[in-house]
Structure 1
Amino acid sequence: MTGGSEVGVTDCLDVQRLHPSSPDGVYRVTLWKSQTAISVYCDMTSSNGGWTVFQNRYDGSEEFYLDLKAYTEGFGNTLAEFWLGLRYIKELADQGNSTLRMEVSAADGSEAYEEWPDFRLGDAPGYKLHVGGNGTGTAGDDSLYFSRFQNGTNFTAKGSTCGNKRRGGWWYDECTLINLNGHYASPGTDSGG
């Protein structure tokens, strides 16, 4: 199925429903509203699978210090490091009840995740972030930092105060330290220098 798009396949959950034994990988889907066919990376193993991945970063090979236009359209390679594109992320989330799942790993090999229900984005150009409820998982959003402070913020990138300061694009609140698209730090370092 990794080649062409099937009728009625609008995200990775649809892929999983039609083909329950599908492996992780790149699949073609047709977005429900715009009918745009795009390639997406599907995580079919984490937490029962069916996750449409919109950001993947693990070695610093892709530049994430880009402007809002790049973040809107998407960049990178879905088989490597990439950002899917805010316009596609919004349409994927708009089709129904969506959950945002973040997975992170540390230089020592430890891994953690957090999930937030009722994930959606506002209209362009700001793509205001909305998550409902509190995060649950192993990453420990104990202070509710993401759900409290990022919730309701616009996405900004290179060319904005926080985008320039944090060298990336994100739903920044006062240039927060939650910055999964910021300057890539080499494992085991604090600065990435």
Structure 2
Amino acid sequence: MKRSSKSTMERRMILLLLVVCYVTMTYSQQCRQVMTTVCDDEVSNSRMQKGDKGDTGRSGKAGSPEVKGEVGEKGMQGDSCALGSLGTDIISRLAKIEKLLSPPSTTTTTTTIVATTSASRVTSCATSSSNGDQVLTSGVEVYCEDGWTVFQRRIDGTVSFQRGWDDYANGFGQVDGEFWLGKSIKSCFENISYLNANCSGLDNIHEMTRGGGCRLKIELWDFDGNQRHANYSSFSVDSAEKSYRLLISGYSGNAGDGMSYHNNKPFSAWDRDNDLHRTVNCASHYGGNQGWWFGDCLASSSALNGVWMRESTGTAHGVVWEVWKGWHEPLKATNMKFRCD
């Protein structure tokens, strides 16, 4: 009878748990799972396990040899489990129920994938298969165009080229617009020294062309949409100690040779007078404070860093390629680029 009482208590515990589940409805999904799991287990147990064996019946009285003894009383049948026995290990079964009734986690784990892409580094634009903004192995940002390194571009006058020596040495402007070899002069000012591998401008034109084997291509457009070009088979820029002297030769093209006169001339700016004129600074007097490889002011054949304008005024003659348009008809756009193979 002890077994019967124990099983009855266990059944009552299970029924009580299930009633609580339905009343609270807090974990209705989990409660249904408990019912299914527990009942499935118990049905299986009921099929596989017999009830406890009853007590052995009392022996009948011994009779005479001719008469059979009385049949002893049948032992009591063990209790069957209508709902199912919890088994011998009630602790593990209750732990199973507790686990099933545990509320779902409300913590959401979010995995963030951070893009770590960066501009690819190439030794020069000639080794790059793509166009646009590129980073060289030296850390210099350049603009590549079909294997050529663009170092000067004029389009619409949105960027002023009326700048001093340091600006031309380091670079300025934006590569998606007008610029002088450099994504932004800001990147140079943020560095400890102007003259380092992270800056652009004349310093890096010198570094990239000093090994020789470089060519120059100049593309020109007027305000009527006409286009001309000038090519030079040899091009390099000397060091800062030699005032970024221009070394150029081997003209071909249809724009006229506007650069050979400037060969072997040092670079000048409004605050660094290196031209051949004895009394005036060509950069400020005739060039509108631009930087260029001036010789004698009036003998110069080109000045592509002049003030952007539709018509020349006074002594500032705009963006000039004298051998094509003369000194008084400015150009609308220019593109200067080199390639070292």
**Partner of 1:185 in structure 2?**
309
User: Is 1:5 paired with 2:102?
Assistant: no
TM value normalised by structure 1: 0.80
Looking at structure 2, the residues matched to 174 and 127 of structure 1 have their Cα atoms a distance apart, in angstroms, of 17
SS at match of 1:109: coil
Q: How many residues align?
A: 166
> Does 50-59 or 122-131 show the bigger shift?
122-131
**Partner of 2:283 in structure 1?**
163
Q: Residue type matched to 2:284 in 1?
A: N
Per the TM alignment, residue 177 of structure 1 is displaced from its structure 2 partner at its CA by: 4.8
Looking at structure 1, the residues matched to 236 and 179 of structure 2 have their Cα atoms a distance apart, in angstroms, of 20
**Partner of 2:133 in structure 1?**
26
TM value normalised by structure 2: 0.46
Contact kept, 8 Å, 2:212 with 2:236, in 1: the verdict is no
Per the TM alignment, residue 93 of structure 1 is displaced from its structure 2 partner at its CA by: 1.0
**Partner of 1:65 in structure 2?**
162
**Partner of 1:80 in structure 2?**
177
**Partner of 2:75 in structure 1?**
none
Contact kept, 8 Å, 1:5 with 1:28, in 2: the verdict is yes
Deviations 1:59-86 (A, max 9, x none): 0011101111110000111111100100
Looking at structure 2, the residues matched to 110 and 83 of structure 1 have their Cα atoms a distance apart, in angstroms, of 23
Deviations 1:3-57 (A, max 9, x none): 4233xx2221011xxx3xx2x3111112xxxx3x12111111xxxxx11000011
Q: What pairs up with 1:1-193 in 2 under 5 angstroms?
A: 3-6=118-121, 9-15=122-128, 19=129, 22=130, 24-30=131-137, 35=138, 37-44=139-146, 50-84=147-181, 85-125=201-241, 126-133=243-250, 135-141=251-257, 145-147=258-260, 149-159=261-271, 160=273, 161-165=281-285, 166-167=287-288, 168-175=290-297, 176-186=300-310, 189-191=311-313
Contact kept, 8 Å, 2:161 with 2:307, in 1: the verdict is yes
Q: Unaligned regions of 5+ residues in structure 1, if any?
A: 45-49
Deviations 1:81-102 (A, max 9, x none): 1001000111111233001111
Deviations 1:119-145 (A, max 9, x none): 111121410000133x1012122xxx5
Q: Residue type matched to 1:13 in 2?
A: A
Looking at structure 1, the residues matched to 156 and 175 of structure 2 have their Cα atoms a distance apart, in angstroms, of 14
Looking at structure 2, the residues matched to 119 and 140 of structure 1 have their Cα atoms a distance apart, in angstroms, of 17
Contact kept, 8 Å, 1:5 with 1:27, in 2: the verdict is yes
Cα gap change, 1:100/1:190 in structure 2, threshold over 3 Å: closer, same or farther? same
Q: Residue type matched to 1:5 in 2?
A: S
Misfit runs of 4+, over 3 Å: none
Looking at structure 2, the residues matched to 132 and 180 of structure 1 have their Cα atoms a distance apart, in angstroms, of 18
Q: Greater Rg, structure 1 or structure 2?
A: 2
Contact kept, 8 Å, 2:234 with 2:249, in 1: the verdict is yes
More helix by share: 2
Q: Among the aligned pairs, what percent are the same residue?
A: 36
**Structure with bigger RCO (C-alpha 8 Å, 6+ apart):** 1
Looking at structure 2, the residues matched to 80 and 155 of structure 1 have their Cα atoms a distance apart, in angstroms, of 24
**Partner of 2:102 in structure 1?**
none
